Structure 1
Amino acid sequence: MALVILGHPTFEKSFANKTIIEELEKSDLDLEIRDIQKLYPNYNIDIKAEQEALLRHQTIVFQYPFYWYNMPAILKHWFDLVLTYKFAYGTNGDKLKHKNFVPSFTVGAPEKEYRTLREHHFRVNEFCKNMEQTAYYTKMNYIDPIYFYGTSLAAGYTEKEVKNKAKEHSQKLIQLLIDLK
């Protein structure tokens, strides 16, 4: 069974992330999906409940929109509170050791904008080093991120285009989760 930590601050307005979650829910996979914005709208994260959820699963998927070259604030806050000393790292902090760490996210801009000397200057993978380091520090197995570009309606993409890309993304994620069993 895999755990999906959904960190989207406006999930109800999402086309991409909402489609991904809907596709995951329709799959035959045994999943637990935790919408942390819905669970903790005031950011009062129940650390014990979240740690218990992590302990129940071998694979943890972090699903979110790519915001300002990083994850949304609610997900960063979740990391700050949940991955504690003596649980995720440090003395006896090996509770996540050998679990799979899967970043899965959506990027609003087109891929061409994430090239050297373009608008965003760096490639998306270069912005994922903090996730990779977190997995390393907590002794988890870092799985290369799954993501796709072009989810912003403001950038000229249509709802149909975004949903189709999200469905393709979902199939890749589902296959990965099957392979990781």
Structure 2
Amino acid sequence: MSLIILAHPTYDKSFANKIIIEELKNSNSDIEIRNIHELYPDYNIDVKAEQQALLRHKTIVFQYPFYWYNMPAILKHWFDVVFEYQFAYGSQGDKLKGKNFLPSFTVGSSQDSYTPLGFQHFRVYEFCKPLEQTAYHSQMNYIEPMYFYGTSLTAGYAKEEIKTNAKQHAEKIIQQIQELEKDGVLDIEVI
């Protein structure tokens, strides 16, 4: 069973992430989707509810737009309060041990811009090191991030191409989850 932590501060205006989530909802995968910005618009996260959600699942997918070379603020806050001492780390903090940690995000800019000579100067994976360390520190299995470029409508990327890429991305997430889970198929629960 898999958990999607959706962290998009302007999900109602999203294009690519909304398509990804709709494709996941319409799949036959055993997925729970938690839209944390909708659940906690005031950032007052129910730590125990989020920890219980994590405990119910084997694979956790973090779905979000790549904001300023990082995750949106609500997801960072979510990690700060949910991955607490003696839950995610510490002498008794092994509650997430062995679970799969899969970052999945959309990148507004082009792939060419994320090169040493490109506009962004660094490759996307270089910005993912804190995620990787968070997974390792909490004894989770870090799965290489899944992402695709050119998702910004305001930057002029074609709507149809973004839609096609978002659908393909959702399919890759489903395939990755199935590979990680190797279990039966149930209904999707949206909270």
TM-score normalised to structure 1 length: 0.99
Within 5 Å, give how 1:150-169 maps onto structure 2. 150-169=150-169
Give, in angstroms, the shift of residue 164 of structure 1.
0.9
SS at match of 2:113: helix
Q: Is 1:23 matched with 2:23?
A: yes
Higher helix share: 1
Q: How many Å separate the matches in 1 of 2:178 and 2:23?
A: 14
Q: How many Å separate the matches in 2 of 1:38 and 1:153?
A: 23
Q: How many Å separate the matches in 2 of 1:152 and 1:26?
A: 24
1:11 maps to: 11
Q: Is 1:77 matched with 2:82?
A: no
- Identity, % of aligned positions: 67
Q: Which has the higher contact order (CA 8 A, sep 6+)?
A: 2
For structure 1, the residue ranges without an aligned partner over 5 or more in a row are none
Q: How many Å separate the matches in 1 of 2:111 and 2:152?
A: 12
Within 5 Å, give how 1:3-152 maps onto structure 2. 3-152=3-152
Greater displacement, 160-169 / 42-51: 160-169
Give, in angstroms, the shift of residue 158 of structure 1.
2.1
SS at match of 2:87: coil
CA RMSD of aligned residues (A): 0.6
Q: How many Å separate the matches in 2 of 1:99 and 1:180?
A: 10
For structure 2, the residue ranges without an aligned partner over 5 or more in a row are 182-191
Q: How many Å separate the matches in 1 of 2:136 and 2:66?
A: 21
Give, in angstroms, the shift of residue 68 of structure 1.
0.2
Greater displacement, 155-164 / 15-24: 155-164
Q: How many Å separate the matches in 2 of 1:41 and 1:103?
A: 22
Give, in angstroms, the shift of residue 91 of structure 1.
1.5
Q: How many Å separate the matches in 1 of 2:150 and 2:177?
A: 24
